[in-house]
A and B are shown apart, each in its own frame.
Chain A
Amino acid sequence: MLKYTLKRIGAMVPVMLIISVVVFLIIYLTPGDPASSMLGMEASADQIERVNDSLGLNEPLPQRYVEWMGGVLTGDLGDSYFMRQPVTQAIAEHFGPTLSLALLAQLIALLIALPCGVVAALKHGSRTDAVLRVVALLGVAIPGFLMALMLMWLFAVTLRVFPVAGYAPLSKGWFSHLRYLALPAISLGCVQAALLMRMTRSSVIEAMQLDCVKTARAKGVSEVRVVLAHALRNAALPILTSVGYSFGALITGTVVTEAIFNISGLGQLVTSSIERRDYPVIQGVLLVIALLNSVINLAVDLAYGAFDPRARKWGDA
């Protein structure tokens, strides 16, 4: 298992290296420059040139890449052009809201998806199953931003139960923290729940056909135990994979939701940095996002072992 883990971690190195080159090239080959954004509409060509020069943007591309990678390897992602702080600090400050939002959204998604998916599977072919499938389909079909706006309109603007926008850190108390995160987390969670529910349903239906389930039933094991201890456990691997992808998507894909609810997370950091052409921040955030995705995938793979002894065996091979 250890060997397998180390091998997987080792495989992440070339992936990260390729990503770093691609990210660097995409950013620098995109038209526009930070000076134009910093100086605004009224900047002259001379002023723009001067600022670009002071930021080192007139140096050859390979030289800039080597300098940047040199910093990355020592944990220095450079300094933001706009925020006048190290990129690592900017990422650390923006990561908290995104992580909180992703965890809550994931929890909501699981609370909806697992029971509904199991029920739909057990009642498969029935009217309940049809209704749940339609609801899931709607969840997948409705764009996240629309869900966010609808929730905002209903619960914040009309009923005034939740705040319209903003973020309260945990230091301001659990209640305030959850109150601000509720609407964005529900809007994200519902979309993810729909995807997970479909996966749960089909996996459980498949697992219910397995011999072990038939054997358990033949032995007179209660139906609840059959579902929870046998069917769900056998259905866990694909569900777990989906949860992993879903969590990765939540960590890295909350751009629109963060913008709508004015949450200063990683998504908003990366969009505002792209608008401002704040190259060090874009590079740093994309690299961290890539790393997070790789780590989440690795964690999911390793978690397979906990559910399926065969996975542990493959890992040792």
Chain B
Amino acid sequence: MNNDLFKAGVSRRGFLTGSAALCAMAGLGLAGRGGSGAESGSAAASGQDVEYRDELQIALPASPDGLDPHTTSSLVTMDIICNVVEPLFGLDSDYEPQPVLAKGYEVSDDGLTYTIKLREGVTFHNGKEFGSEDVVASMNRWLTVNDRAASLLPGATFAASGDHEVTCTLTEPAIDFLIILGNHSQYPGIFPSEVIEAAGDTGVTEYVGTGAYKFVEWKQDQYVHLTRYEDYVAAHGKASGYTGKVSAPTKDIYYQFVTEASTRVSGFETGEYDIAGEIPTENYYDFDGNDDVKLYTHNAGVLTAFLNMNEGVFADEEIRKCALMAIDCEAAALAAYGEKELFNIDPNLGNPENTQWATDAGKKYFNQADAKAAKKALAKTSYAGETVKLLTTPDYKDMYNATVALQEQLEKAGFTAEVDSYEFATFMDIRSGKPEQWDLFVASTNYKPIPAQSLSVSKAFYGLSDEKALKLVAETRTAKDTDAAAKKWAEAQERLYEIAVIEPLCHYASITGTQADVEDVEVLDGAIIWNAKRPE
């Protein structure tokens, strides 16, 4: 496994010649920053006046199901709308919360009241000056209509305590409050209060924010067009993740929705798209020796096997332990992603690069890959040859291929296993509503910034019903400080391994491509393009 490849954004040629290693060694951190930084530097160093294009074409792999960030968790939506609508706080490239529309904050001694000062002189795209009434309207709506927000901050409310100051009152302390507010995947964007008031059941209809880009047009299933907001007032500080300085050097941005992967790759290869999201892993090596493009890979999520601890064969903990004993993570990951460079075997249930939460607790149970021992242990359990039902969907190739690999591994350990494959909607239907029809399923899921949001601890997602584990997870949010919270999470992770309900098969990479001369793109959860530019 080449970790440099995982961390650095580099051109394929650059990678081959070692410049990727240089970027990584220079401590430039997360994906993309190395590549773009180097590129910028070279343009500036040339001493010539560089003319930049007025337009960037970005190919995305899916159409958004809506552009109201309060009511969806779609990453495609967030990638687009974060250019238009800004939040109070955002996460920087180290996943630390930093102010965006906020200027600063204070928290009461009991941890229940946050007083947030707002920036002044910021205007919405409709000309209205941004103030506390907009924050109160937007945040209270977000806390109501966003399921994640409602479950993480139950009973929380925002109130104005000045023209540019708001107070948030919590019902119980939450040390992760600012991270939740800054999390890209449950985006609490601030709209003008009148837009929030006009929003009906179908969500916000006017996409007006304070961001560097204004919404122009959304052509269903085709594209979203954004244009630069000339009166934009940028936050201070160096650009980092979803925070810091935004310069919007390119006038028009087109997000093109190209669902067919081969078309997206071909369009990227021919230069029609300046940036392309989710390049399929099987195309990774197609760009070998291609100086015209840069590929950015980063840990994007975790491919996990979830076991049904409530019904069927795996309701018996001893049988579950035998199953986990048999699982060879690397073989399953290879089946799913094909190349070792595109995944990472690690016992973390969350992002191994998240310095606050990463832990290897429970690693002795992880990736045992011992079919013989599993078979021996299975013989001592109550297992009588019942069929283990492995639920999957061919719509997600990685999930399907890993499931087929697990079937083989379980059968080697003496299980009778069958793969039940359905198209995605039916897969979802069975997974959530018919637990008697599955014993194990594999799912690829994005990282969450706090463990309490992780699907590996979700009762709703796969029926986790171990009280001890659930209690430990809850305590990660009410611990007295971050160290205590991290300790609780380590205990929770170890507990999940002990009761054998989950196995993180691998951490997979997402590949974003840009044309080699595109500058200042940063890739975190997705491509951050508000500082991106491309020479004529």
Q: Scan B435-469; emit 1 where CB is below 8 A from any A CB, else 0.
A: 00000000101000000000100101100000000
Q: Scan A72-87; emit 1 where CB is below 8 A from any B CB, else 0.
A: 0000000000111100
- The answer, among B203, B221, B458, for a CB contact under 8 Å with A272, is B221
Nearest residue in B to A259 (C-beta to C-beta)?
A: B260
Question: Is B455 in contact with A37, judged by CB distance below 8 angstroms?
Answer: no
Given A272-B63, A275-B424: A164 and B432 within 8 A (CB)? no
Residues in A neighbouring B445, C-beta threshold 8 A: 41-42
A83 to B220: give the CA distance in the assembly, Å.
7
Question: Is A37 in contact with B424, judged by CB distance below 8 angstroms?
Answer: yes
Residues of chain A in range 159-173 having any CB-CB distance to chain B below 8 Å: 160, 163-167
Question: Is B256 in contact with A260, judged by CB distance below 8 angstroms?
Answer: no
Nearest residue in B to A49 (C-beta to C-beta)?
A: B433
Tell me the minimal C-beta distance from B526 to chain A in angstroms. Answer: 15
A-B contact count (CB 8 A): 118
Nearest residue in B to A158 (C-beta to C-beta)?
A: B270
Tell me the minimal C-beta distance from B185 to chain A in angstroms. Answer: 10
Tier of interface size on chain B: 35 or more
Residues of chain B in range 126-181 having any CB-CB distance to chain A below 8 Å: 147
Given A43-B432, A47-B147, A48-B433: A264 and B221 within 8 A (CB)? yes
Question: Is A269 in contact with B221, judged by CB distance below 8 angstroms?
Answer: yes
Question: Is B65 in contact with A82, judged by CB distance below 8 angstroms?
Answer: yes
Question: Is A46 in contact with B266, judged by CB distance below 8 angstroms?
Answer: no
A54 to B73: give the CA distance in the assembly, Å.
19
Tell me the minimal C-beta distance from B519 to chain A in angstroms. Answer: 24
Q: Kindly specify which of A9-17, A149-157, A287-295, A303-311 makes contact with the partner chain.
A: A149-157
- The answer, among A31, A42, A152, A269, for a CB contact under 8 Å with B73, is A42
Q: Scan B65-88; emit 1 where CB is below 8 A from any A CB, else 0.
A: 110000001100000000000000
Given A36-B428, A41-B428, A262-B258: A31 and B422 within 8 A (CB)? yes
Nearest residue in B to A269 (C-beta to C-beta)?
A: B221
- The answer, among B263, B432, B460, for a CB contact under 8 Å with A36, is B432
Q: Scan B254-272; emit 1 where CB is below 8 A from any A CB, else 0.
A: 0011111011001101101
- The answer, among B203, B267, B426, B433, for a CB contact under 8 Å with A45, is B433
Residues in B neighbouring A33, C-beta threshold 8 A: 425, 429
Question: Is B455 in contact with A42, judged by CB distance below 8 angstroms?
Answer: yes
Q: What secondary structure prevails in chain B residues at the interface with A? A: mixed
Q: Does A44 contact B (CB under 8 A)?
A: yes
Tell me the minimal C-beta distance from A194 to chain B in angstroms. Answer: 25
Residues in A neighbouring B395, C-beta threshold 8 A: 275
Tell me the minimal C-beta distance from B34 to chain A in angstroms. Answer: 29
Most buried by A among B256, B430, B432, B455: B432
Nearest residue in B to A83 (C-beta to C-beta)?
A: B220
Residues in B neighbouring A165, C-beta threshold 8 A: 258, 260, 263, 266-267, 272
A153 to B262: give the CA distance in the assembly, Å.
11
Question: Is A262 in contact with B429, judged by CB distance below 8 angstroms?
Answer: no
- The answer, among B74, B424, B428, for a CB contact under 8 Å with A43, is B428
Given A40-B74, A160-B270, A163-B272: A32 and B258 within 8 A (CB)? no
Question: Is B461 in contact with A260, judged by CB distance below 8 angstroms?
Answer: no
Q: Does A38 contact B (CB under 8 A)?
A: yes
A46 to B260: give the CA distance in the assembly, Å.
32
Question: Is A45 in contact with B272, judged by CB distance below 8 angstroms?
Answer: no
Residues in A neighbouring B536, C-beta threshold 8 A: none
Which B residues contact A (CB, under 8 angstroms)? 63, 65-66, 73-74, 147, 201-203, 219-222, 256-260, 262-263, 266-267, 269-270, 272, 395, 422-426, 428-430, 432-433, 443, 445, 455, 458, 460-461
